Structure 1
Amino acid sequence: MLRKIDNTKMGRSNLGWLQSIFHFSFAEYYNPANINFGALRVINDDLIAPQTGFGTHPHRDMEIISYVVEGELTHADSMGNQNSITRGQVQYMSAGTGVLHSEYNHGENTLRMLQIWIIPDERGYTPNYGDHRFNWDERHNKWLHMVSNKDGDAPIKINQDANFYSLELSKDNEITFPVKQGRQAYLVQIEGASTINDTPLTAKDGLEIVEESITIHATETSHFLVIEMSKEID
């Protein structure tokens, strides 16, 4: 089963310094029929103006992944971590029993990032932070496995049965992605345009995939993120 989510029908917010598209209910956008997709609770496609950002604020009991599309993101937290990442790189924070953090764009250009929240398999984990500076070419015309559960083989591990993959697919190329029985996936067409199992997508669209393998044909050079997970929330 495939269900396209047109980005023009998603929630939106414009605070001047921050412009956001909400794939799921968040902040002032609330849709009781669109709270989560399995363990996936939040995907916010954020544009953050230069020299602005999210001041120090709390989180708890959530696995938070930040994926930079353009620009530079700087994270600082109450555990003493402070690091910056750029295009195609990832920061991870397990909020667990509670943590404070901030996220800023200290650069001269607009930052575009995807902020993703995954519901953990248990409450009360010890807070944890990590980041990984993936080489962009690692995802050129092939799937880059960035995030897995604690028993998986991705360099970033989270407290949930979920896998994150990124891909840059050249124009007119094709690639497949299997979604097996008992599994589902959420795809974000970050940049470009494609056709997936005869479903056309343009930049910032989403696609729910349930127990159905897909074939992606890039009608333009395209950049994707796929979050694959169990259909059941642990």
Structure 2
Amino acid sequence: MLRKLDSTNMGRSDLGWLQSIFHFSFSSYYNVDNMNFGVLRVINDDLVKANTGFEMHPHKDMEIISYVVDGELTHGDSMGNKNTITRGHVQYMSAGTGIYHSEHNLGKTTSRFLQIWIHPDKKGLEPNYGDYKFQWEDRKNKWLQIVSSTDGDGPIKIYQDANIYVLELDENKEIDFKVNEERQAYLVQIEGSAEINNILLNNRDALEIVEEDIVIKSKEKSHIIIIEMKKSN
């Protein structure tokens, strides 16, 4: 089963310093029929102006992944961690019993990043933070796994049966992705456009995939992320 989500129909917010597209209910956007996709609770596509950002605020019992598309993102938290990442890099945090953190764009240009929240497999975990600077060429015309469960092979491990892959596919190239029985996946066309099983996705569109293999044919250079997970009941 495939279902396209057009970005023009998603929730939106404009705070001046921050412009957001909400894939699921979040903040001022509330839709009781669009709360999550399995254990995937949040994907926010955020544009943060230079020298602005999210001040220190709390999180609890959530696996949080930030994937930078453009510009830079600086994380700080109540455990004393602080670091800056740029395009294609990732920050991740297990909020567990509770943590405060901030996210700022201290650069000179607007930053774009995807903020991804996944429900953990248990509550009350010890808070944890890390970041990973992936090489861009490792996702050129091939899948790069950036996240897995603690039992998986991803360099970033989270407390949930979920995997995250990224890809940059050159124009007119083709690649497949398998979504096995009892599995589902959520795909975001971060940049560019592609045809996926005869469904056209443009910049910032998304696709829900349930127990169905897909073939991606790029119409132009395409930057894509997939969150793959166990099928929800």
Shorter chain as normaliser: what TM range? over 0.9
Please name the residue that 1:184 is paired with. Answer: 184
Per-residue deviation at 1:232? 3.2
Query: Any idea what the Cα deviations from partners look like across 1:120-163, whole Å, max 9, x if unmatched?
Result: 00000000001100000000000000000000011000000000
Instruction: Give the residue type in structure 2 aligned to 1:229.
Output: M
Is 1:156 matched up with 2:156? yes
* Corresponding letter in the other structure for 2:97: T
| 1:5 maps onto 2:22 in alignment | no
Once the two structures are superposed, residues 12-31 of structure 1 have per-residue CA deviations (whole angstroms, 9 ceiling, x without a partner) of 00000000000000000000
**Which residue in 1 is equivalent to 2:130?**
130
Counterpart of 1:109 in structure 2: which amino acid?
A: T
CA distance in 1, matches of 2:232, 2:179: 14
CA deviation map 1:51-76 (0-9, x unaligned)? 00000000000000000000000000
Structure 1 residues 62-211: aligned runs within 5 Å: 62-211=62-211
Q: Which residue in the other structure is 2:59 paired with?
A: 59
1:61-113 CA-partner distances (Å, limit 9, x unpaired): 00000000000000000011001100001000000000000000000000000
SS at match of 1:8: helix
Task: Give the AA of the match of 2:169.
Answer: L
Return the letter of the residue paired with 1:107: G
Cα distance in 2 for residues equivalent to 1:160 and 1:79: 23
For 1:90 and 1:96, how far apart are their aligned partners in 2? 19
Aligned-pair identity in percent equals 66
- In 2, Cα distance between the equivalents of 1:202 and 1:139? 20
How many residue pairs get aligned? The number is 233
User: What corresponds to 2:30 in structure 1?
Assistant: 30
SS in 2 for 1:47: strand
Structure 1 spans left out of the alignment, 5+ residues: none
User: How far apart in 2 are the matches of 1:119 and 1:49?
Assistant: 29
SS in 2 for 1:138: helix
Distance 1:106 1:169 in 2: 30
2: distance between equivalents of 1:79 and 1:125?
15
Off by >6 Å, runs of 4+ in structure 1: none
